[in-house]
Structure 1
Amino acid sequence: MTTIVKSPHNAVPSEFYELQKILDGKIVKNQDVYTISTNSALGKGAVRYIHLQPGLQAYDFDITLHENLEIPISRVSFTSLQFLYCLEGDCSHQFEDLDKIHLIDQFQTAVIHSNKGLESRIFVKAGKRLVLNIIAVNKKEYFDKFSNESNKFGKRIQELLYQIGNKQKHFHLGSHSLKIAEQLKLLIGLEYDNEISEMLSQKGRYYLILAKHIEQFCLEVDNNTNTSGLLKNELKMITQMSDFIKQYPEIQHSIKTLCLESGLSPAKLQEGFKFMYNRTVSDFVRNTRLDKAEKLIRTTDLTISEIVYTVGLTSRSYFCKIFKKKYRYSPKEYKIKSASSISS
């Protein structure tokens, strides 16, 4: 159910109302999500806020503005470490006491911290769509639970937080990452009018995004390098090819045809899919076909043979073999199981 929030709400941080003033829009609540729609005189789009747990908040910007705009990031949260990811377009960041401006490019990460009293801001360009995710993490409230973790990132993040906390400001420009893009693409544009279980599933994606941020941040600081050797245009082409395969799994995709379509070499194509999905191209195609087949089994009356043809496979016996390996049931058994769960 969607409602308009007319006064400060205890579930919404005061910083979100600061953003409301800047964007001059109304706050609307839909389940656990609060959204500011941009005033039409300023541009179009919205900023979405979701409280994940104490000490952990997520903000999704999807805006196209008529004029350049400066947004104080400390208005998002001044007590936190902010993990930024730019899914579309780009933006710039600057601390108020420095002339240096950092460009955060499409598919690029950044980690920002500043002590209270030091302004930290991002600049949004006019006429260019910006899709930006910010996960704000209260360093003490959230990361304290990592202190007893035995995994290497749990201990390492504690060390890094101690070092960062002793500085008045910190800015880390990370590498380009398609792994985070893949998760965010499933969240951007979501209406959040679904069931509570689905809502929890979507919240889980933010935790996956944060985990990937932390892992990448630790690796980059320790190795003094980024985690991908791919260029921005190569990363963009990889995500276009993965979207193409998902949209048309029935096509007989091959390394040769995908290279011709993308302009990438076979080595770059394989490197990109391995980096983003931890799969070879052929594994990705096979898994995409299985995902579509599973959905067709659950939601349609197509026969197994018809589904095999629809997803681009030619051998029913081969399909049954790989389907059972992934889902632990044969396609026929899975169809019966899905039908019984719906009826009950």
Structure 2
Amino acid sequence: MRDSDINYNNTPTVLLSLQQQLGGEILAEENTRKLILNSETVSGQIRSVELQTGIITLDIDVTVLEDIKIQIDPIESQTLHFIYCLRGGCIHQFGTSEKQILIEEFQSGIAHDYKDMQSNILVKAGKQLTINVISVYQEMYFQNTENQSNLFAKKLQKLVSYIDTEPNHLHLGNYNLKIAEQIKLLYRVEHDTEITALLSQIGRYYIILANHIDQFFLEIDNPMNTSGLLKKELKKITELSDYISANPEIQHSIKTLSMDSGLSASKLQEGFKFMFDRTVSDFIRNIRLERAEMLIKTTELNISEVVYSIGLTSRSYFCKIFKNKYNCSPKQYKSNFQKNLKLSE
């Protein structure tokens, strides 16, 4: 669905404002709106989803050829912006304030806007920028009676009470690879239908938001980098995880991964534990199982062929670990999936 066909009443104000700032064309897919950019200044896309009344997401994935300013809050209201930079680095600025704060790759920030000073993201020419912004418009969100008593709203309210003492304040967080992985999955995971894709995305946005909140309260008492790893080491861990995810069939080992990355075995384990709550071996096993599930659902490969495709040699071992994760055998899983697919047609 293109610009001329869209019901703009269902398009977040922030996306319409960004279209005025940057140009481009808005496309609609279910509850998702995308601003497609292709100009001499900026190319790429900005995706927006309204999670619920008062909570809007922005996924900004652009290449910038000239210095630009992206105003992420066009509404004059008290707003919390949970910002995470996955790639490129950017600068946060309130209104026309001289104070500018760098948000680096893998770093989070929570901006608290007041009515007179909206948040801007400044991007330098030549940057490829990928950031996620989840905005909570406080008045709209907290006036909703359904949100006044749930645990999530109480955590948000507690966070506001800490930040509210400083108008137009940015809490710059530490590096956080857990959020990075969730954002990657927003782009990477394939789904059978647009509905399952949307539900999966919404779930991940709430996981990202929960991670921001948890990190904030951890850093109040301990402002040091809770991973114990340097930025360059964190970057190597995320590069390794991407490599393993793209090549699950390779016989990865601590030794070869250490040689490829230059990290010691203990640093590898520490990094994977911090990022995924898993050891390196557990991470590899889980990636293989997720790839196997996808192959079972989307190809005609038999179970033995699936086992070979993910780098395992023992069918009995594969069936055992698959059942532990999915509560049924691979054969039963395929049968159930095909049955449900026919019912939905």
TM-score (norm 1): 0.89
Does residue 1:95 correspond to 2:107, yes or no? no
Q: CA separation of 1:255/1:116 partners in 2, compared to 1, >3 Å: closer, same or farther?
A: same
Residue 181 of structure 1 aligns with which residue? Answer: 180
Q: Is contact 1:31-1:193 (8 Å) kept?
A: no
Provide the residue aligned with 2:78 in structure 1. 79
Alignment CA distance shift 1:307-1:29 (3 Å): closer
**Offset at 1:267?**
1.0
* Contact 2:95/2:119, CA 8 A, preserved across alignment: yes
Q: Counterpart of 1:14?
A: 13
- Cα distance in 2 for residues equivalent to 1:33 and 1:154: 24
Following superposition, the deviation at residue 40 of structure 1 comes to 1.2
Q: In structure 2, what is the Cα distance between the partners aligned to 1:76 and 1:21?
A: 14
Partner Cα distance (1:244, 1:50) in 2: 29
**Is the counterpart of residue 308 in structure 1 residue 307 in structure 2?**
yes
Distance 1:343 1:224, change over 3 A: same
Change in CA separation of 1:71 and 1:304 when aligned onto 2, cut-off 3 Å: closer
Matches of 2:76 and 2:312 in 1, distance apart? 50
Change (3 A) 1:129 1:343: same
The root-mean-square deviation of aligned C-alpha atoms, in Å, is: 2.7
Deviations 1:287-336 (A, max 9, x none): 11122222222333333222222211222222222122112222233333
How far residue 158 of structure 1 moved from its aligned partner, in angstroms, is 2.5
Measured in 1, the distance between the counterparts of 2:191 and 2:294 equals: 21
Amino acid at match of 1:103: L
Amino acid at match of 2:56: Q
8 Å contact kept, 1:33–1:192: no
SS in 2 for 1:225: coil
Query: 2: distance between equivalents of 1:331 and 1:188?
Result: 26
SS, match of residue 229 in structure 2: coil
Whole-Å separation in 1 of the counterparts to 2:261 and 2:216: 30
Range that drifts further, 302-311 or 205-214: 302-311
**Structure 1 pair 196/107, CA: closer, same or farther in 2 (3 Å)?**
same
Report the AA paired with residue 56 of structure 1. Answer: I
Contact 1:5 1:28 (C-alpha < 8 Å) held by counterparts: no
Aligned equivalents of 2:118, 2:205: Cα separation in 1: 26
Secondary structure of the structure 1 residue equivalent to 2:238:
helix
Shift of 1:103: 0.6
Name the CA shift for 1:192/1:317 in 2 (closer, same or farther; >3 Å).
closer
Give 1:98 deviation, angstroms: 4.5
Question: The residue matched to 2:9 in structure 1 has which SS?
Answer: coil
- Secondary structure of 1:57's counterpart equals strand
Distance across 1 between alignment mates of 2:300 and 2:326: 19
Q: 1:228 is matched with which residue?
A: 227
User: 2 CA distance for matches of 1:77 and 1:38?
Assistant: 26
**130 and 189 in structure 1: CA distance in 2 versus 1, 3 angstrom threshold:** farther
Deviations 1:11-45 (A, max 9, x none): 23433322212102232323222222225122211
Amino acid at match of 1:263: G
2:160 counterpart of 1:161: yes
The share of aligned pairs that are identical, in percent, is 50
Quote the Cα distance in structure 2 between the aligned partners of 1:281 and 1:31. 37
Distance 2:232 2:342 in 1: 48
Distance in 2 (alpha carbons) for counterparts of 1:53 and 1:119: 21
Q: 1:188-337 alignment to 2 at 5 Å?
A: 188=187, 194-337=193-336
Unpaired segments ≥5 residues, structure 2:
none
